[in-house]
Amino acid sequence: MRYQLATVLLSALAVVAAPAPRLPRSIFDKTTSVTSSILVNAPLADTIAALQDFQNMINLNPLVISSTPDAANPNVYTIIDKLALPLGFEFNTTYKATFTKTPVGMDTISDAGLGVTIQNHWVAEAIEGGTNVTETDTVTANFVVSPFIESEIKSSHGQLLETFKSQLEAKAGQA
């Protein structure tokens, strides 16, 4: 059963990857949004500054194994993620991500290859007891690979948020 799942995923990825570098958007595409938030016990301004430290935010993502800023545009990074499939299969995927500071955090847009586009919208907001950090991820992908991408994002960004929180709180504690 698991082996079948891995085979199906691998052939789905192969099919989707075939007309590289980029598939036209089609009726097979699906767009989904996932929102997660975490309460950080640190000042709002520090939290926004941390969200706008692009290199640090990239490093917090447990899937990332390499990242290189673009020589011409410091807001663009070439990133390599290591993705794991069932049964110990793994593959590396290289993509470009563009980061933009906003007054309340930052936005990213990644053209992740395999016809996958991911937008991340980060917002920090002062609330009773600290700063509420909310991440909204919008994934557009072929409906076959979409559930896989969503579950990767849910688990990796769950970890990212937890590390983000402990990093900031450690810093706030020292201040």
Ligand X SMILES: *[C@@H]1O[C@H](CO)[C@@H](O)[C@H](O)[C@H]1NC(C)=O
Instruction: Give residues in contact with ligand X (CB under 6 A).
Output: 37, 39, 65, 82, 90-92, 127, 132, 134
Q: What is the largest CA-CA distance in the chain?
A: 53
* Cβ proximity to ligand X, 29 vs 152, nearer residue: 152
Q: Which residue has the tokens 């504690």?
A: 173
Least separation in angstroms between residue 90's CB and ligand X is 5
Least separation in angstroms between residue 38's CB and ligand X is 8
Q: What is the DSSP string of 25-61?
A: P-TTEEEEEEEEEEEE-S-HHHHHHHHT-HHHHHHH-
- From 114, 116, 108, select the one nearest 137 (Cα to Cα): 108
* Cβ proximity to ligand X, 25 vs 82, nearer residue: 82
Least separation in angstroms between residue 77's CB and ligand X is 16
User: Strand 76-84's sheet: what is its strand order?
Assistant: 29-40, 130-142, 117-127, 105-111, 90-102, 76-84, 64-69
Least separation in angstroms between residue 25's CB and ligand X is 28
Residues 58, 56: Cα–Cα separation, whole Å: 5
* Cβ proximity to ligand X, 37 vs 73, nearer residue: 37
* Cβ proximity to ligand X, 105 vs 115, nearer residue: 105
